Amino acid sequence: MKQSPAADLLAIATRAFIVSLALAWTLHAADAPRQLRAGAAASNITPPLGAGIVGSGTSDPPSVHIHDELWARCLVLDNGVTRLAIVVCDNLHATRPVYDLAKEFIAKETGLPADHVLISATHTHSGPSAMGKYAFTWGTPLEDYQKFMARRIADGVRRALNNLAPARIGWGAGSVPQHVFNRRWHMKPGTPLPNPVGGQDRVLMNPGVNNPNLVEPAGPVDPQVSFVSVQSTNGRPIALLANYSLHYVGGVGQLHISADYYGMFCDRIQQLLGADRLDPPFVGLMSNGTSGDVNNINVRPEKPERRAPYEQMRLVANDVAAEVARVHKTVQFHDWVPLAAAMSELELAVRKPTPAMVERARVVLAAPDKVKLVHRRETDYAGRLVALVDWPEKISVPLQALRLGDLGIATSPFETFAETGLEIKQRSPFKATFTIELANGWMSYLATPRQHALGGYETWHGTGLVETDASVKMVDALMKLLNRLK
């Protein structure tokens, strides 16, 4: 049936109204202020009692008590264009395949790209290993705890995504110099410094308090504590990610599992920000900066003090949290900022032992009672040297950089020296930058070429696994990533 002219006019008017309404909505959406969203969650990664404590030496003795739980602490940011996830795990360190598996779960279950996910370890020495029993054997399959940890990381990110809500973000930095000391020391000429791989060092790690042969530290420290704070639009704390270049503190009860000062900081900053018992819960994250040569031990104290278990780490956590809380009062928050991520692979040569080193190592392993050992860890390192023979000539290591507004975050998969972190901050194109180490996997220590020439624990074959100029190549590669994001 033919429609009447009146009906035709009504249909045309209706279509015109719908089109004008859609256009008006589009223009309104374009003019509407952009809004950041954020969500956070903490996923428990505590192992059962009896799990080996990897930071206790070479034997990994079984744990007998859990002083405080271990967590994968997760923060997700979404500005409507880009979504990022940052995860900090209470663990000594983990192999790259552990984090790769977690990212695989996350990408499959949430659609979040793997290169937009940053996962790191704190370096607590009072927890289990996520390296596996055969950490220095190339290509071994993941063990049960490693698989469990990967699954729980992914669960934490999914829960953080579930908590996404309108938010605002700010960042700042303070200084806590009283708790960081370079642990590598020049000693008086003539001090014997044999190492377990057949050489003589020129510096000594952890030389002992008031050692009469002390001369001076071999490198600098970075006293800065940086942080990113995320709040709801009405000011409710959602999460705070901090970064401090301190290896760990220690001083736990015998065979106790603990998150070290990292966990205590997260608890204390929650108190100082008035963020207790919120729903969803506030999540504190303390990431490790560049602390491969930095510890908490003042070897020249005016008056040495003996502290009860957990006393020293609580002191450090409280001081760092107090400084963050002080600076936090001055932070400018933003309802929206640019977010971006970039990753690259850096190919590095493996530091293979010489044939002579391997030959001696095989003799030590075959008949340790018949060989005059020059170092108490020579048998341990003999095993590492032999294992390195089967490593590939080169390995690829993951590097990542994030942009949060005018803040840049660089990553390193190594236990990285403080002077490298200071160089990254100095060369970065961003107004503020910090580096998260032990990120996206553990690849070994990363001494600078200058420090390699001095020797010491961090440079031994089996401790420093990559070429001696790797730190130079890494910094250059990170600058390319940061400049790309800027």
pLDDT, tens digit, 9 for 90 and up, residues 381-392:
999 999 999 999
232 and 358 part of one domain? no
Reply yes or no on whether the pLDDT at 59 is more than 80.
Answer: no
pLDDT tens per residue across span 223-259: 999 999 999 999 999 999 999 999 999 999 999 999 9
Instruction: List residues bridging with 39 in a β-sheet.
Output: 76
User: In 3-state terms, what secondary structure has residue 109?
Assistant: helix
123 and 241 part of one domain? yes
222 and 73 part of one domain? yes
307 and 259 part of one domain? yes
167 and 83 part of one domain? yes
pLDDT tens per residue across span 318-357: 999 999 999 999 999 999 999 999 999 999 999 999 999 9
Average pLDDT, the chain: 92
332 and 381 part of one domain? no
Reply yes or no on whether the pLDDT at 129 is more than 70.
Answer: yes
314 and 258 part of one domain? yes
Q: Using CA atoms, how far apart are residues 402 and 117, in angstroms rounded to an integer?
A: 10
Least confident piece of the model among 81-95, 138-152, 451-465: 138-152
271 and 373 part of one domain? no
232 and 369 part of one domain? no
Structural domain total, the chain: 2
Model confidence band, residue 25 (pLDDT cutoffs 50, 70, 90): very low
* Burial bucket for residue 17 (CB in 10 Å: 0-12, 13-18, 19+): exposed
In a domain, 90, yes or no: yes
Q: Using CA atoms, how far apart are residues 263 and 343, in angstroms rounded to an integer?
A: 28
Reply yes or no on whether the pLDDT at 92 is more than 80.
Answer: yes
Asked whether the beta carbons of 478 and 424 are under 8 A apart, the reply is yes
Cα-to-chain-centroid distance, residue 137 = 23
- Crossing angle (nearest 10°) for helices 311-328 and 260-272: 40
Reply yes or no on whether the pLDDT at 22 is more than 70.
Answer: no
57 and 156 part of one domain? yes
Reply yes or no on whether the pLDDT at 2 is more than 50.
Answer: no
Instruction: Residue 29: name the closest of 84, 71, 80 by CA.
Output: 80
State yes or no: cis peptide before 280, omega within 30 of 0: yes
User: In 3-state terms, what secondary structure has residue 55?
Assistant: helix
236 and 330 part of one domain? yes
pLDDT tens per residue across span 418-462: 999 999 999 999 999 999 999 999 999 999 999 999 999 999 999
In a domain, 178, yes or no: yes
In a domain, 249, yes or no: yes
In a domain, 456, yes or no: no
Instruction: Residue 351: name the closest of 190, 202, 259, 465 by CA.
Output: 465
273 and 361 part of one domain? no
The model's pTM? 0.92
**Which residues 6+ apart lie within 8 Å of 115 measured at CB?**
341, 342, 343, 400
Single-letter amino acid, residue 45: I
Domain hosting 94: range is 36-182+216-338
Q: Using CA atoms, how far apart are residues 402 and 433, in angstroms rounded to an integer?
A: 10
